Amino acid sequence: MASLPFSATSFHSTFICFNYKARNPNLFFLKKGSSFTFSRRKFIIKSVASDQRQDLKEEGQITEEASLDTFVPDSASIASSIKYHSEFTPSFAPDHFELPKAFKATAESVRDSLIINWNATYAYYEKINVKQAYYLSMEYLQGRALLNAIGNLELTGAYAEALKKLGHNLEDVAREEPDAALGNGGLGRLASCFLDSLATLNYPAWGYGLRYKYGLFKQYITKDGQEEVAENWLEMGNPWEIVRNDVSYPVKFYGEVISGPEGIKEWVGGEDITAVAYDVPIPGYKTKTTINLRLWSTKVAPEKFDLSAFNAGDHAKAYSAMNNAEKICYILYPGDESLEGKTLRLKQQYTLCSASLQDIIARYERRSGEFLNWEIFPEKVAVQMNDTHPTLCIPELIRILIDVKGLSWEQAWNITQRTVAYTNHTVLPEALEKWSLELMEKLLPRHVEIIKMIDEELVQTIIDEYGTEDLDLLQEKLKQMRILDNIELPESVVEMIVKPEKSSVEAIESTEEDDVSDEETEPTAEEDELEEEEIEEKNEVPPIIEPDPKLPKLVRMANLCVAGGYAVNGVAEIHSEIVKNEVFNDFYEMWPEKFQNKTNGVTPRRWIRFCNPDLSKIITKWTGSEDWVVNTEKLLTLRKFADNEDLQSEWREAKQRNKVKVASFLREKTGYIVNPDAMFDVQVKRIHEYKRQLLNIMGIVYRYKKMKEMSHEERKASFAPRVCIFGGKAFATYVQAKRIVKFITDVGATVNHDPEIGDLLKVVFVPDYNVSVAEMLIPGSELSQHISTAGMEASGTSNMKFAMNGCILIGTLDGANVEIRQEVGEDNFFLFGAEAHEIAGLRKERAEGKFVPDPRFEEVKSYVRSGVFGPYNYEELMGSLEGNEGYGRADYFLVGKDFPSYIECQDNVDEAYRDQKRWTKMSILNTAGSYKFSSDRTIHEYARDIWRIDPVVLP
């Protein structure tokens, strides 16, 4: 047990007691069995922070509205607060104060401080009825909250000292916190960075998501590759969240739609669940503003438990309704290979949208009071859909406005189009969601009716834009732009397109009237037949309304987002151009004003100030202040010192200290011992074929093979020592991605135990990659790989984090790589590979059988097939890189095409690394050039160009 200045066996509880006259806090330790008489004393149990703040308020030192910036707790009061929570907010047995309990009590102490500002923030927003942005996302990859929260509150030193008094180290306590399992990759991490920036910049905003019980999954690496088990992040409770039992909303599935009086629609029957709010505070940096992340959990009313079935022994039936409700929030992205999986995922998306929209509307009504005016709803509310997952908020908002609030279709449609905006994150077809119309009709029948109405509005707009003269053009536009895919056109539209022509009799009579100068002649039989064919052809229903019975009927969610919202943005300059010119080109031609670019960003607080304190101190010293933490333009100051030997020496020392930490971490997590003097070469991100971890590991195999063919002296002369680090999760049902994980670990097992190679090359796969692992790896990384097939990565955010920490990138001209290279300088970025505009042509060349692979690429594939990396059969993996067509074949992601360029670029990396002065300068310039990629800049642009909200500073 940790050494403590108090013994849990010598006292039972810690109380804060106040003399009713002096109001001075005195800490009492009540021993078991002790009795006290509290005459003329007021006995209060409160947190120390709120008590001492109350004291100051009564003494006139702070006002009623003052927040924590007026009262800053010292280490003694913090220690008392931690003691208080260890006893009076118990989650552990009272006789120990070990690390898990210390973390929980410390977090609850911090939460006390946050609650003061948290409540003040939203009380003020309610009071002034400010316009607010609401960010809807299926993912929030938050990471650990403790160090971030106390850092933003500027209480890191005080908490470190307080915990030291209590026998613990702050870093050890912080490591007890599990990562919140609410996200998977960049989509969720971006959402979390945005919340941090929104709070820091004082923008009125709120995040909405789902409270997953198990998240995605916990990843283990075994001899068989990746294995998945359920995340246990909630096993010990979440000290940051507060359940709002008074904030819950009904959510319905299935049932039917009936028409009431005056055509009012009512959705009845079906399955009813309840969404309950869990709130998490998000503090800003050096500001009072503390915004909210509201997560929904699902349940049913107790009466849904079938007691009679339970008593009869049919326990499955008794629990059926509860299980159906609770499983909605069990895991992030349930596998959707089965109908049940698809249904569950659609339920998740609708739950997020329905509960959030009901909450947003309730807040709007409460703020409006007696002056409720739905027409100005978009002037008070902006809803941002983070990718297509929250698309259902469009028909849900319309449903509530029409069916519940009594507005007309025209009013509801107009309000929705001025309220909702959409961020596109991908050009990959599988991410541009399409849902089965049949499934959606069963699960959400009222929403399908509304979506059909939106589709009819869109079709009408397309016809108004392009006319009906050129039916081939109109057919193409409708094929690309309709929300409903492979579904007949509405009758009203068909009537508009197919105008009745004159009958044969009318046509003949008209001809007789007009042809007054010619001699009347009887038409021949052939002429009669030809005329009838022409008339039939003119009246023929055009093929645009003929669905293919062999193809499924689908709802295209991305098209619904574009049609139903007022703004569409990509997340990097190159990606936004692809969105305009390829993904949504037809929409862009019709509505160019809707489309914008908002390059992603990352918060400099978490991603350098808190995770890399050594480098942060150096930056502060050389830029002259800590202003760079909120004004990253100050990082540009580093450019003028990039050649300074003193700065370079300090920079290298900081990087080396971080590398030593990484080496220790790798040994702890994997058992591999690596040399911290080697180059740390890192690729950590979701495992996916387009991100091309396969290209990386095949480059390593080529490197290893060349090493094996050389003498010891030749190897040392030819290659800089490297530790190649991988991390990331392959989706549980993504077989090819899991093969890649297995391949990487097999290569590592062989290379790392090869005595001939020694420390010249190591390959390490870090299991269960998450935010906390990233916070460890990124500060110690020297080369980071962002090598996706050009045109397929929307932006990326890890590339920004690495550059911010002085890590040099190797990559393609894809996503934010393009802009990073522009800012850090072409000489400070290792570029290779085909460019986005070449990809389609290269795939066409492959399909035509014209691609000739580089001999070195063929050499690597043969080497893998030889069995040098173990008995596992890699034929499917290598075979995916061969052939000219077919699913899972033909090297769709162009690994073979870019392989020679990649390995030649790696030779340039080795050459640069040998010159440490040059490398350090490149590192400094990467940090300086990362100024543009702060999420603060991104949020300013969203606030100005999309949400049209202003900062609100609390008084």
Six-digit token string for 448 = 């399908």
Contact 59, 24 (CB under 8 A): no
Out of 290, 419, 603, 797, which one is annotated catalytic?
797
Out of 218, 606, 686, 843, which one is annotated catalytic?
686
788 DSSP assignment: P
Contact 402, 408 (CB under 8 A): yes
442 classed as catalytic:
no
Contact 870, 750 (CB under 8 A): yes
C-alpha–C-alpha distance, residues 504 and 506, integer Å? 5
C-alpha–C-alpha distance, residues 194 and 201, integer Å? 10
Out of 85, 189, 425, 580, which one is annotated catalytic?
425
Strands 830-831, 783-786: pairing kind: unpaired
Six-digit token string for 643 = 């050649």
Task: Name residue, tokens 């021993």.
Answer: 31
Contact 297, 182 (CB under 8 A): no
C-alpha–C-alpha distance, residues 890 and 887, integer Å? 8
797 classed as catalytic:
yes
3-state helix, strand and coil shares in percent for the chain, rounded to the nearest 5: 50, 15, 35
Contact 212, 169 (CB under 8 A): no
Q: Residue 831 is inside which H or E element, if any?
A: strand 830-831
511 classed as catalytic:
no
Longest CA–CA separation in the chain, Å: 128
Out of 691, 715, 821, 843, which one is annotated catalytic?
691
Out of 685, 722, 738, 821, which one is annotated catalytic?
685
498 DSSP assignment: S
Six-digit token string for 732 = 């549980």
DSSP 384-400: EEESSTTTTHHHHHHHI
940 classed as catalytic:
no
Burial class (CB in 10 A: 0-12, 13-18, 19+), 39: exposed
Sequence-distant (≥ 6) Cβ neighbours of residue 745 within 8 angstroms: 221, 225, 765
Six-digit token string for 375 = 């027409």
Six-digit token string for 92 = 């552990």
Q: Cα 705 vs. chain centroid, distance in angstroms?
A: 38
Out of 742, 801, 921, 932, which one is annotated catalytic?
801
801 classed as catalytic:
yes
550 classed as catalytic:
no
C-alpha–C-alpha distance, residues 465 and 455, integer Å? 15
Which of 735, 736, 737, 765 minimizes the C-alpha distance to 749?
765
Torsional class of 351: left (φ above 0), alpha (ψ -120 to 50), beta (otherwise): alpha
Dihedral (Cα; 140, 145, 147, 152), 10-degree rounding: 70
Which of 419, 375, 376 minimizes the C-alpha distance to 396?
419
Instruction: Please work out, in degrees rounded to the nearest 5, the angle formed at the alpha carbon of residue 306 by the alpha carbons of 300 and 308.
Output: 165
Active site residue ranges: 425, 685-686, 691, 797, 801
